[in-house]
Structure 1
Amino acid sequence: MAQLKSSSRDNILDAAQRVASREGAGKLTLDKVACECGLSKGGLLYNYPNKEALLKSMLDRLLDQFLSIAETEERAMAGEPNAHLRAMLRAVAGHQMVDPGTYMCILTASAENPELLEPMRAVFRDSYQRISSECTDPDLGLLLWSAADGILFHHILGIAPYPQAEKSKLFQKLLKLSEEMS
């Protein structure tokens, strides 16, 4: 039964991402998500009692995916210099493939309820501490991490003036600089 509920929740989150991508964050409604995933509104409300709960789950899943990439990368670099910084840079570079509509939903929701971003703030606080303590030049490490996030936000907001190939080149340069910091 737990597997079925988890699968149902994943289907709902997938549907919410499709709606957000197709119609924009401001037009994400529970009715549209229910229709998209083939559930009645009551079926949707059984899993997510309100839009805020749905958005929180979207953020949680996005954060879980990001952390999974970062943890896998960090394990692969265990014992190497700047492993956490390099893992975060690789995770950000890999996460640019996530549909910007998902991010926009979360940004929209956080404007209404900033507390939704608390899990992300906790991850960022932890990464800040880890990068500050592992890097021989903590300021440079934090600048590289911030630059990677800036490139990602250019993508999310659709304001990047450079093509995908240039974005990939920039991420590679950030990774190279993080490797040369030791």
Structure 2
Amino acid sequence: MRDRLLDAVERLLVRDGVESVRLDAVAREAGVSKGGLLHHFPSKQDLVRGVVERLADRFEAALPEPDAPPGAFALAWLQASIPAESPTGDRSGADRVPLALLAAAGGPDVLAALRARYARWQLRLADDGLEPAVADLVRMAVDGWWTARLLGLGVPHDDAHIELRALLVELIRTRGGAG
């Protein structure tokens, strides 16, 4: 039931944005009573926290183990965030749940939980065998790219998408040796 409710939240987020996440709307989308929803998630903040944790877990599942070759973590960060090809009919990331925006909308506790995950990811990135400035540049480029897609701000498309992504992959491989 928890996954059914979290799936409903994700559908609402993608379709209608963060403001659409209301307990009655989630219950309706999931096909359950509001009482059934409240049994699993006593508040909207608990519901948002559940989605943020699930999305962060999915992201972490795509990342390599700590003993991976140099640059592997940065490369996995890129691959989990930016598709290899420019998405057809790119809707500026509208097909993805806005994790950072959702965490911010969830309040200080939810945002603090995401910040704690980011801090751990940043440590892993710093220990990835890349020069520190390169590791930071890759993370910031990927996060900025994702944010640009989400908000529709100067999103690279088609050949520009492929070329920019290739430049990041080349930077990771030449400064870290990931294959």
Structure 1 length-normalised TM = 0.79
2:123 equivalent to 1:129: yes
Q: State the distance in 1 between where 2:68 and 2:134 align.
A: 20
Deviation at 1:87, TM superposition (A): 2.2
2:134 equivalent to 1:145: no
Among residues 147, 166, 173, which one is paired with 1:172 in the alignment?
A: 166
User: Residue 5 of structure 1 corresponds to which residue in structure 2?
Assistant: none
> Letter of the aligned partner of 2:12 in structure 1?
V
Q: Is 40-49 or 154-163 further displaced after alignment?
A: 154-163
Residue 52 of structure 1 contacts residue 109 of structure 1 at CA under 8 Å; is this kept in 2?
Answer: no
Which ranges of structure 2 fall in alignment gaps of 5 or more residues? 84-91
> Letter of the aligned partner of 1:14 in structure 2?
D
Q: State the distance in 1 between where 2:94 and 2:129 align.
A: 28
Deviation at 1:164, TM superposition (A): 5.5
Residue 93 of structure 2 contacts residue 149 of structure 2 at CA under 8 Å; is this kept in 1?
Answer: no
Distance 1:97 1:168, change over 3 A: farther
User: Residue 104 of structure 2 corresponds to which residue in structure 1?
Assistant: 110
Q: How does 1:92-103 map to 2 (within 5 A)?
A: 92-93=81-82, 99-100=95-96, 102-103=97-98
Q: How does 1:30-45 map to 2 (within 5 A)?
A: 30-45=23-38
Among residues 32, 45, 50, which one is paired with 2:43 in the alignment?
A: 50
Q: State the distance in 2 between where 1:13 and 1:111 align.
A: 16
Q: State the distance in 2 between where 1:164 and 1:60 align.
A: 32
Q: CA RMSD for the aligned pairs? A: 2.6
Q: State the distance in 1 between where 2:152 and 2:95 align.
A: 11
User: Residue 80 of structure 1 corresponds to which residue in structure 2?
Assistant: 69
User: Residue 55 of structure 2 corresponds to which residue in structure 1?
Assistant: 62
Deviation at 1:17, TM superposition (A): 1.4
Query: When the two structures are aligned, how many residues end up with a matched partner?
Result: 168
User: Deviation string for 1:22-44 (max 9, x for gaps)?
Assistant: 22211221111111111011111
Distance 1:61 1:136, change over 3 A: closer
Distance 1:127 1:57, change over 3 A: same
Residue 132 of structure 1 contacts residue 139 of structure 1 at CA under 8 Å; is this kept in 2?
Answer: no
SS at match of 2:56: helix
Q: State the distance in 1 between where 2:4 and 2:158 align.
A: 29
Deviation at 1:53, TM superposition (A): 0.6
Q: State the distance in 2 between where 1:42 and 1:66 align.
A: 31
